[in-house]
Amino acid sequence: MKGAKNFASMSDPSHNGQFSRQWSEPQYRDGFKTIGEIAAEIVGHLPFQRKIERFHHLGPRVLGEMLAELGAERSIMTAIIQMIERYIELNPEVLEAAGGDDFSPIPIHQVRQP
């Protein structure tokens, strides 16, 4: 599929562990992924999840500083505030009941001795 990348291609050393521009700027033509599809793939990527978990432990101030820096750098502060307002309307109890408050646990594989 032209223009679409997967996480296997992101493991290429030339990416240096960074997401390509295509992940943040989806196209809305046939053959391209929607923002929701791309976001779901990014959130489902285990290394991304682990970085977010570490980031979360730093607390709300660090998150606020990062969002303010991103908003100022990209001139998207209004969009960030609108997203924050949308997300804070989520019901924490419903989110927890649906399993949407945390990442899935790391799969455990059985190791057999030879």
**What are the pLDDT tens digits along the chain (114 aa)?**
334 343 333 333 344 444 444 445 545 566 789 999 999 999 999 999 999 999 999 999 999 999 999 999 999 999 999 999 999 999 999 999 999 999 888 777 777 777
**How far, in Å, CA of 55 to CA of 62, rounded?**
8
- pLDDT recorded at residue 8: 37
Query: What is d(CA 34, CA 87) in angstroms, rounded to the nearest whole number?
Result: 19
Q: Cβ–Cβ contacts within 10 Å for residue 75, how many?
A: 8
Question: What tokens appear for 38 in the block?
Answer: 């791309």
Quick one: pLDDT at residue 27?
52
By percentage, how much of the chain surpasses pLDDT 90?
A: 61
CB 23 within 8 A of CB 42: yes
Length of the chain counted residue by residue: 114
Q: What is the pLDDT of residue 15?
A: 42
- What number of CA atoms fall less than 13 Å from residue 53's CA on the CB side? 13
In this predicted structure, what is the pLDDT of residue 17?
46
